[in-house]
Each structure stands twice: as structure tokens, then as C-alpha cells.
Amino acid sequence: MLSHKETDLSETDLQEMYRTMLLSRRLDERMWLLNRAGKLPFVISCQGQEATQVGAAFALDKDVDIINPYYRDLALVTHFGMTPEETMLSAFARGADVQSGGRQMPGHFSKKASNIMTQGSAVTTQIPHAVGASYVFKMNGEKRVSLATLGEGSTSQGDFHEGLNFAGVHKLPFICLIENNKYAISVPVHLQYGADKLSDRAVGYGMHGEQVDGNDPIAVYKVMKEARDRAVNGEGASLIEAMSIRLTPHSSDDDDKYREADELQKNKKDDCLESFKLYLLEEKIIDEAWLQTVEAEIKDTVNKATKAAEAAPYAAPEHTLKHVYEEVNNG
């Protein structure tokens, strides 16, 4: 793991990074349990990719930067301001869900107040949206960046090429972060792309490209911080490929039988949450007492969020058509 001394991260920053990773993991685990208990219809997981998401999130300025996440980005949106209760309201499809009022599947993140742009179900559509936001920032002379995240499978879609080509031509303050967990549902990387590195495609778009260890939140932070600095200084866009791990099946509807048992076992050993915890312990940034306290606090937070969301009412039936048809006030 990259030493934090090679960055501007403080010990408090590192503690908060771990806390965000742990909170996201415990929320994710709780949703899986609720799904298996028949209380939630669907879960799509962030487990194994928290290091990439938190490293990227801490490198941005959440007060001004815009994020365009993909469906696994629970840790990213949690740092940007999605609360545990809001996550659970979406999972339970309750009316108070800030993302869609309970109408959209979980993982369709959206919260305008937290600079989280809404996303659609068709993969990769967030790329042109994110590029469009960065074009506005450049035209207005704003020191802001727009981040889009996606899995490696989405790089095969046309929106990926169109968006990155436009960002490269106009030198936009845009960052594309590929969270490469090596499987697009069940399709492995050797059937997805022919390049050694997806980040090498940056050359064709006239932008900076770099691959990073996605299991190392400090390394991801460093690369993303440099990308943001280039963007706000007028040096254009970046394509960052973070090599990460998907610890779970694609979703709660997937049996994961296309992966060998030894691969799954190795992934567990390489769990970014465990490796980051070990680093922080070795560096004496945290201790066992701190860990126990944080675990207890997060358990209480997740319990309260779950109970509040489960008790919340569903939206009224007529809310189904909200924002679908024009609403005319004849009064």
C-alpha cells in the first residue's frame, strides 16, 4: 500500500476514509441480509470496491464537484452526502426515497443537494451527462470537475467513446474512473476488451491515462487528486482505471457460478477493507479500541436507518406518474 506520507492526507483523513469504507460495507451487508430474509427485492453490491470509491471521493471537493456514479458506488455517494437512512429508504422503495420516491431500483443514485447527478438504468449514459456538466464548468470559468464512474464492461458502449472524445477535444475538467472488477456481470475481461490496459485508450482521446491499484485507497486518492488538479488548472480530462475486486455476485439475482472457488477465496484474502485496516494499525493511526468504538457506532447507525426506513410509508399510488406527464394547473 502506498504510504500516506507521499500525499497530503492527515491521520484524521485516513480515519474518516476507513470509517466511510466500513459504514458502506455494513450497509451493504445489511441489505443482503434483508434481501435474503425477503424484505428487499434487489441488492447490487459495492463490496470490494470501497477503496477505489473512497479514495476517489476524498480527492474531490464535494462542495463544488459533481459526481455521476454507477450502481456500485455506495461508498462514493455516502461520502458525498447520501445518508444511511436515505440508502435504506431507496432499498425499501419508500415514498421518502430522495432518489426516485421509491420508483427506481436500488443503486440508481441521485441527490441534487449533494451534487449527485441522477442516472438511468442503461449503462454508460452517465458519461455524456458528466461530460456535459464539465463543459458548463469550462464555459463558465468555474474551478470544478465532473466525475463519471463505470465498470469496465461499460467501456464497450458507444456513449463511452463519444463522451471521452468530446472531453478530449475540448480539454474539459472531466475525470472518468473505470472501476475494473474484471467481470461485466459474468463476462470476464479477456472477452470484453483486447487492450492490456483500458487506461491506454486515453492516448486516442488526447487525455491523461493511468492505471492504479483499486484496492489501495491512498494510491487511488493520489492519482485522483492529481487528475483533479490538472482539470481545474485547464490541463484537460483524465481516464483513470482502478483495478479492483468484486467480492459478491453481480447482484442478488446472480449465482456467481462462473467464478472458480479459488478465485473467490483469493478475493477474500485481498479484501481492501482488511488491508487498509491492517495498514492503519501498523502505522498506529488507529488501535483496537478505536475500531471497537467505530464498529459499535456504525452498527447503531445501520440499525436505526434500517428501522426508520422499514417503518416509512410507501408513496401514494398516483405518485407513479409524477414527473412522467405534464402537470397542468387549471385553477
- Tell whether the model's pLDDT for residue 231 goes beyond 80: yes
Catalytic residue, candidates 250, 279, 314, 323: 250
Q: How confident is the model at residue 318 (pLDDT cuts 50, 70, 90)?
A: confident
Q: How confident is the model at residue 37 (pLDDT cuts 50, 70, 90)?
A: very high
The model's pLDDT over 12-22, given as tens digits with 9 standing for 90+, comes to 999 999 999 99
Q: What is the pLDDT at residue 82?
A: 98
User: Residue for cell digits 475540448?
Assistant: 170
- Tell whether the model's pLDDT for residue 225 goes beyond 90: yes
User: 3-state class of 295 per DSSP?
Assistant: helix
Catalytic residue, candidates 25, 79, 108, 246: 246
The mean predicted confidence, pLDDT, of the chain is 96
CA distance 213 to 7: 16
CA distance 290 to 103: 39
Q: How confident is the model at residue 212 (pLDDT cuts 50, 70, 90)?
A: very high
Q: What is the pLDDT at residue 326?
A: 86
Torsion of CA 45, 11, 176, 153, to 10 degrees: -30
Q: What is the pLDDT at residue 119?
A: 86
Strand 183-184 versus strand 146-151 pairing type: unpaired
In the chain, the percentage of residues whose pLDDT exceeds 70 is: 100
Q: What is the pLDDT at residue 120?
A: 84
User: Residue for cell digits 405518485?
Assistant: 319
**258 an active-site residue?**
yes
pTM of the predicted model, to two decimals? 0.96
Catalytic residue, candidates 36, 258, 319, 323: 258
| Cross-strand pairs, 151 | 179
CA distance 1 to 252: 31
Q: Which domains does the chain have, with CATH numbers?
A: 4-321 (3.40.50.970)
Mean pLDDT of 20-42: 97
**246 an active-site residue?**
yes
Mean pLDDT of 174-198: 97
181: nearest Cα among 194, 173, 192: 192
248: nearest Cα among 188, 171, 319, 183: 183
Instruction: Compare 103 and 90 and report the one with higher pLDDT.
Output: 90
The model's pLDDT over 197-211, given as tens digits with 9 standing for 90+, comes to 999 999 999 999 999
**Which pairs count as long-range contacts for 99-108, CB under 8 Å and 24+ apart, including other chains?**
101/315, 101/319, 101/322, 102/314, 102/315, 102/319, 103/315, 103/319, 103/320, 105/42, 106/31, 106/40, 106/42, 106/43, 106/44, 107/44, 107/71, 107/72, 107/74, 108/71
Q: What is the pLDDT at residue 324?
A: 85
Residue 210 gets which letter from DSSP?
A: E
Strand 183-184 versus strand 187-188 pairing type: antiparallel
The model's pLDDT over 41-74, given as tens digits with 9 standing for 90+, comes to 999 999 999 999 999 999 999 999 999 999 999 9
Q: How confident is the model at residue 157 (pLDDT cuts 50, 70, 90)?
A: very high
CA-CA distances (angstroms) from residue 59 to 28, 89, 153, 219?
A: 23, 28, 25, 11
Q: What is the pLDDT at residue 325?
A: 86
- Tell whether the model's pLDDT for residue 330 goes beyond 90: no
Q: What is the pLDDT at residue 279?
A: 98
Q: How confident is the model at residue 331 (pLDDT cuts 50, 70, 90)?
A: low
